[in-house]
Amino acid sequence: MISSSASGLLQQMRERLEQLPDAQRRVVQYVLQDPREAVAATVEHLAQQAGVSMPTIVRTCRSFGHDSVREFMLALAQDLAVSGSYIHRSVLAEDAVQDVASKIVHAAVSSLADLGRRMDVDMIDRVATQLAQARRIDCYSVGAASTFMANELQSRLFRLGRTANAIFDAHQQLVSASTLGPGGVAFVISHVGRMPYTIEAARFARSQGATVVALTQPGTPLAEAADLLLAVSVPQDAVMRVGTEAYLAHLVIIEILTVRLAQKLGPVATRGLQQFKQLLHKHGFDSVGYEGVLDQAPGMEQDD
């Protein structure tokens, strides 16, 4: 057994990987794919993900000089604090391109799997019911990431026949909040959840009788200002305030929510979606039919 004081635990695991028995190698490979997730995982979760028994987890920790899993994880957390990367939470500066791709994909998949385990499906159902009954739905956002999400949500609601707007201007959000009233929904999207003027608009909309739905992290000021909270928790990104994993998590929540809404709206929504798809297929800018129209237009030259 080698004491982790000789060198960093992460470095030890990389150096000894090929020398370990098969089962222990699987454990170490899993830990190296996303060390920060491993630190927070239970022994049962580690064993399940690595495809080994729980005693194998203990033996692996002991093979690196630690008497318990807790001691091993503490050493791993300390090593991460010292050697943490500002490139990506799972990627080290010396990683090869194959490792970069593997770690980022694994981190995204792991984050979505964790989202699925934590998801409050009853809350999603309540929000879908509220959207189905709403007279008007105004989607508030701030910043590039949240505005992208608000536009995506508005587009999906629009296709389902809901009266919906996407608003990112601070003054327009206040105007919206003053006119929604009972029967209206202010759907506020902000992963950070701390922008003062958007929170002010949410609170004002609520004071006017509208229902406020927030898609944000739990425990934020926005979460506290909402009637209904769609909570999204993902690991913090090393570079951006809202990283790729947060993007994916928000999109997945929006997808689930709008599919559930379509179920509640029934055949009318299904027929509308089918008609909309057929319309775009026939007349959309990227359709074969539209290219034919361009070919017939006077003065249009054909590209080689």
Residues in the chain, overall count: 304
Which pLDDT score is estimated for 59?
A: 94
Which of 217, 244, 10, 239 lies closest to 109 in space, CA to CA? Answer: 244
Which pLDDT score is estimated for 301?
A: 46
**Beta strand spans in 60-168 (E):** 136-141, 164-167
Which pLDDT score is estimated for 6?
A: 40
By 3-state DSSP, what share of the chain in percent is helix, strand and coil, each rounded to 5?
60, 10, 30
Which pLDDT score is estimated for 170?
A: 93
As a whole number of angstroms, the distance between CA 229 and CA 124 comes to 9
Residues 125-149 pLDDT 10s: 999 999 999 999 999 998 888 999 9
Element spanning 223, H or E? helix 221-225
| Greatest CA separation for the chain | 81
As a whole number of angstroms, the distance between CA 201 and CA 304 comes to 53
| Mean of pLDDT values over 91-110 | 82
State the chain's mean pLDDT as an integer: 85
Residues 189-234 pLDDT 10s: 998 888 988 999 999 999 999 999 999 999 899 999 999 999 998 8
Q: Does pLDDT of 270 surpass 80?
A: no
Query: Exposed, middle or buried, 272 (CB in 10 Å: 0-12/13-18/19+)?
Result: middle
Whole-prediction pTM value?
0.68
Name the strands in the sheet holding 228-231, side by side, starting at the edge strand that comes first in the sequence.
164-167, 136-141, 184-189, 211-216, 228-231
Residues 140-173 pLDDT 10s: 998 888 999 999 999 999 989 999 999 999 999 9
As a whole number of angstroms, the distance between CA 176 and CA 162 comes to 16
Q: How far is CA 158 from CA 79, 187, 262, 276, in A?
A: 49, 14, 12, 11
pLDDT band for position 3 (cuts 50, 70, 90): very low
Which pLDDT score is estimated for 85?
A: 58
Element spanning 231, H or E? strand 228-231
Q: Does pLDDT of 293 surpass 70?
A: no
Q: How many CB atoms lie within 10 A of CB 108?
A: 18
Contact at 8 Å (CB) between 186 and 213? yes
Q: Does pLDDT of 239 surpass 90?
A: no
Most confident of 63-72, 188-197, 249-258: 249-258
As a whole number of angstroms, the distance between CA 232 and CA 218 comes to 7
As a whole number of angstroms, the distance between CA 197 and CA 146 comes to 14
Contact at 8 Å (CB) between 173 and 239? no
Which pLDDT score is estimated for 303?
A: 45
Rounded to an integer, what is the distance from CA 9 to the centroid of its chain?
A: 30
Share of the chain above pLDDT 70, in %: 86
Domains and CATH numbers, the chain: 1-84 (1.10.10.10), 118-268 (3.40.50.10490)
| Mean of pLDDT values over 47-55 | 92
Q: Name every residue whose Cβ is closer than 8 Å to that of residue 210 and which is 6 or more positions away in sequence.
A: 177, 180, 181, 182, 183, 184, 185, 186
| Mean of pLDDT values over 71-82 | 80
Q: Does pLDDT of 53 surpass 90?
A: yes
Contact at 8 Å (CB) between 68 and 61? yes
